[in-house]
Amino acid sequence: MILKKKGAIRSTDSNRELFQKILKRKGMIKLLESLLNLTDSQLSAVKNIVDNFKN
């Protein structure tokens, strides 16, 4: 009985991890799509913001 519970917990954890990976991937795709739609000046502003976070 205990083994089944541990297995179920592992399964739930792996499902949660998989779901989080899918959400991250979808988020990255949406981010990339939105970056493609930016004008040059908007893209430059985003680059400046990212550069500020790096430093």
42 near 50, Cβ under 8 Å? no
Instruction: Read off the pLDDT of residues 3-52 as tens digits, 9 standing for 90 and up.
Output: 555 555 566 788 888 888 888 888 888 888 888 888 888 889 989 998 99
The total number of structural domains that make up the chain = 1
What's the rounded Cα separation, in Å, for the pair 44 and 41?
5
Question: What is the predicted pLDDT for the residue at 48?
Answer: 93
Q: Who's near 46: CB < 8 A, 6+ residues apart?
A: 35, 38
pLDDT value for 5: 55
Residues in CB range of 35: below 8 A, 6 or more apart: 43, 46
Residue ranges making up the domain that contains 10 = 2-54
pLDDT score of 52:
92
pLDDT the model gives residue 53: 87
pLDDT band at 1 (very low <50, low <70, confident <90, very high): very low
